[in-house]
Amino acid sequence: MIQTQNPFFENNHTPHGTVPFDRIAVEHYAPAIREGIRRQNEEIDAIVCNPAPADFQNTILALELSGELLRRAETVFDNLLSAETNDAMQELAKELMPLLSEHANNITLNERLFERVKTAYEHRYDEALTAEQRKLTEDTYEGFERSGANLQGADKEKYRELSRQLSLLTLQFSENNLKETNDYQLVLTDESQLKGLPESAIEAARETAKEKGQEGWIFTLQASSYVPFLTYADNRELRKELYMAYNTKCTHPNDYNNLDIVKQLVNTRLEIARLLGYKDYASYKLERRMAQNSANVYHLLSQLLEAYKPTALKEYAEVQSLAREEQGEDFVLMPWDWSYYSQKLKDRTFNINDEMLRPYFELENVKKGVFGLATRLYGITFQKNPEIPVYHKDVDAYEVFDHDGSFLAVLYTDFHPRAGKRSGAWMTSYKGQWIDEQTGENNRPHVSLVMNFTKPTQDKPALLTFSEVETFLHEFGHSLHGMFANSTYESLSGTNVYWDFVELPSQFMENFATEKEFLHTFARHYQTGELIPDELVQRLIDARNFNVAYACLRQVSFGLLDMAWYTRTTPFDGDVRTYEKQAWAEAQILPQVEETCMSTQFSHIFAGGYAAGYYSYKWAEVLDADAFSLFRQKGIFNPEVAASFRENILSKGGTEHPMTLYKRFRGQEPTIEALLIRNGIKKEC
């Protein structure tokens, strides 16, 4: 029975049809999702039982438009499971995930439905279809094929079971990671233990202790607490303690241990790939990527290793040398020392650190700067609307308007850490963009930015680190990709592109972080209003490639680890930590610590969408450096180049192959040259 008070079943009359967060309770999800499944099943039955021959309209489009209620309810539930979860939602997820997995399988493994999809696919050139309609037809067919539609008998049932297992395992992995992160706290009561820490970090730790009803200072595993401590705390033993707590997450003998879950996830994905006819999971995933196969991924990673490792070793030697100046010739630089002595060297070389920059990066000003950058490039504007419901008091909602004044999108911003939010930063959508072909109405997207930035304290507003400014620009790039979406069909819209292309718009935006012209638009001292001094900007620019090779190898190591797990052709039953250390050994510069383990907390590749795809960040970095080099040639705010980037990259979604889109914007395929020049590895000719 449908609950009449359930907001998912009602017309809520919110601005732009936004989610009525203020009216949704945990008990509303299950009825809405179950009813959504029932309605979509009816819609699928209508497609299957249609006596007319299968074509684009009665099969492909009908399938695309099905499941509207389910999509709305599931989207809100999934997003809040990451941004504002609680024990009740996590318990409900354990009930709903298998149900949703089974429903998805019931669609893709429906033989009669697949026959109609296949018929429409085989006749796609017989109909007078647009290029986008053909692309939707091809993607739909391939989606079925890659989800087991061609399997027979027992293999189909096996696929169902493996899919169900995978959904539960990824959920458990994420839940364990969140709980282990939230459970840890480093409580300090002796002020001498805070030596070296900037006042901003001490203040934040004092606020955290107050929130938890304790005396002293509390440091956590949230990035905004963990990173400053590892960077500035003089007490080496405490740095080590915090480092080990972070880097042994989900390895302890408790309910949150992910060691066995890692094995199960790797083996389940391998079994799915083998069932579908692939030698390993990477082959399955990369078939629908720009990279195409693991050989091309390894080629990129090898290129980067060869180009950056000599410089990375020099960087290590320089930091080690400084540490030994202070600690003696026998001192061994360990991972918990790297940020601390790197910062000292950076300060000595460039006379710059986060605490010098923080006063100029007050969050409200950074917001104005980032929004203003979009206005300058694309003519869009942002207006906060308090009438749009939000899911937490820290969240703001904005209406976004295009250069001609027309409504473009809704943008939610959620900046600070809390217990119900997983770590990291991400962009997501509550509503995708699509065009109603009958009415011509362009349904505009509702996009959300979720981050974990330094919180305000009793005495100071939120003052960001430079790295947090870069993160803001990165996620905002994703949001532009979503907000500028202009496709006919939602499944081809916005960020629905190849996974190794999706990071181009985000990483492209990071280029502006060290551009003086951009910084001068917003970076003012939060107390005096003074514009960031040119001298400080120049130091920031001079320091931008500090330890860039080490940072590159760190990303390469993650890519190697990811590929090691997903190019396996046999099940894994060894020691996770040992395997991990062997997998990325070639890219490691610092000594490896036996007890540490990245895999047990590596949500990107075990519980997110980056399985056999972590290389995408470096792949897209090649693209973004090459793309921004055109802006450098023509002017970083050049309106024609920006319009071309919007038209060819940001608006097209997955309607065409990404390399086709890229070449249309850039006029050529990308090379690694622009990245090497930007990073100072190679001199510009």
User: What's the length of the chain?
Assistant: 685
**CA angle at 468 for the pair 467 and 474, rounded to the nearest 5°:** 90
d(CA 252, CA 582): 21
Contacts 24+ apart (CB under 8 A), 546-549: 546/342, 546/346, 546/349, 546/350, 547/315, 547/319, 547/342, 547/346, 548/308, 548/311, 548/679, 548/680, 548/681, 549/308, 549/309, 549/310, 549/311, 549/312, 549/314, 549/315, 549/679, 549/681
Distant-in-sequence, close-in-space partners of 106: CB < 8 Å, separation ≥ 6: 41
Structure tokens that stand for 383 in this block:
């207006």
Q: Write down the domain spans for the chain.
A: 7-150, 184-247, 259-352+548-614, 359-542+617-678
Scanning the structure block, which residue is given the tokens 């024609």?
A: 640
Q: Summarize the chain as % helix, strand, coil (round to 5).
A: 60, 5, 35
For residue 353, which of 524, 200, 246, 550 has the smallest C-alpha distance? 200
| Alpha-carbon distance values, 182 to 260, 336, 421, 430, 608 (Å) | 21, 21, 10, 26, 20
Topology of the domain covering 359-542+617-678: Neurolysin; domain 3 (1.10.1370)
**Number of alpha carbons in the 13 Å side-chain half-sphere of residue 367:** 19
Could you tell me which CATH number the domain at 7-150 has? 1.20.1050.40
- Give pLDDT < 70 ranges for the chain: 1-4, 684-685
For residue 319, which of 306, 305, 335 has the smallest C-alpha distance? 335
Q: What is the DSSP letter of 463?
A: B
- pLDDT tens digits, one per residue of 473-521: 999 999 999 999 999 999 999 999 999 999 999 999 999 999 999 999 9
Structure tokens that stand for 294 in this block:
């693991």
For residue 117, which of 99, 97, 141 has the smallest C-alpha distance? 141
Q: What's the distance, Cα to Cα, between the start and end of the chain in Å?
A: 71
Contact present, 100 and 408 (Cβ < 8 Å): no
- What is the model's pLDDT at position 1? 40
Q: Do domains 7-150 and 359-542+617-678 have the same CATH topology?
A: no
Residue type present at position 615? Y
Contact present, 425 and 452 (Cβ < 8 Å): yes
d(CA 620, CA 628): 12
Among 84, 362, 475, 503, which one carries the catalytic annotation?
A: 475
E strands within 407-542?
Answer: 407-414, 426-431, 434-435, 442-443, 446-450
- What is the model's pLDDT at position 458? 87
407-414 and 446-450 strand pairing: parallel
| Beta bridge mates, 576 | none
- What is the model's pLDDT at position 4? 56
- What is the model's pLDDT at position 3? 47
Does 306 participate in catalysis according to the annotation? no
Residue type present at position 125? Y
Contact present, 307 and 676 (Cβ < 8 Å): yes
d(CA 116, CA 122): 10
Contact present, 397 and 388 (Cβ < 8 Å): yes
Top-tier CATH class for 259-352+548-614: mainly alpha
| Beta bridge mates, 218 | 187
Q: Following CA atoms 145, 150, 154, 156 in sequence, which dihedral angle do they give, to the nearest 10 degrees? A: 30
Contact present, 222 and 214 (Cβ < 8 Å): no
- What is the model's pLDDT at position 685? 56
